[in-house]
Amino acid sequence: MTDMEANGNRFWTTNVIIFAVLQFIFYMTAFFILYKTSGNFPGIFWRVNLLIALAAAAYTSVVPVRVRKYSEKILNGKGINMGYCCVVLPVMYLLIKCLLFAYFKWELEVTNKLIGGFCRTYMLLAPFTGFFIIKYYKDLK
């Protein structure tokens, strides 16, 4: 086994591969739902957004690998990989937002606007959350 293969096995564990695939599918599903629930935008708008969404989904999928790269504790199995939070934090933000909205309005209707807002917010926050998590671990090193 070469040194390259040994390093690849250290970073790309089974859990990370499963996360990367599921995250990519979830992100692209959010894009498709946003496409179906949004208004009439021209085709070029959606093509450009699809390319941006593909890049953001790929970036967000590899966040746990990049966090493992910067943390010896995680590589040795002693720490928790916070790279997975790039999915959890945007979803938690949206749940808190919906709960506050429901509390102050006393009702919460599930409409296309709410679903589109969920997808749009998730698609914006997930890559930024991943970027800041990676930056945090890079600065610790």
Eight-class DSSP state of 40: -
pTM of the model: 0.80
Spatial contact of 65 and 11, defined as CB atoms under 8 Å apart: yes
Q: Which pLDDT tens digit goes with each residue over 48-62?
A: 989 999 999 999 999
Domain, as residue range, for 67: 3-140
Q: For the chain, give the longest Cα–Cα distance.
A: 61
Alpha helix locations (H) across the chain?
3-11, 14-37, 43-61, 63-70, 72-75, 85-105, 112-140
What are the tens digits of pLDDT across the range 4-13? Answer: 445 556 778 8
pLDDT tens digit string along 75-118?
887 888 888 888 889 989 988 988 888 888 777 777 888 888 88
d(C-alpha 16, C-alpha 53), whole Å: 20
> Distance of CA 111 to CAs 117, 133, 134, Å?
10, 32, 35
Say whether pLDDT at 3 is over 60.
no
Contact present, 99 and 32 (Cβ < 8 Å): no
pLDDT for 75: 80
The reported pLDDT for the residue numbered 60 is: 92
What is the model's pLDDT at position 7? 55
Q: How many domains does the chain have?
A: 1
% pLDDT > 90, the chain: 32
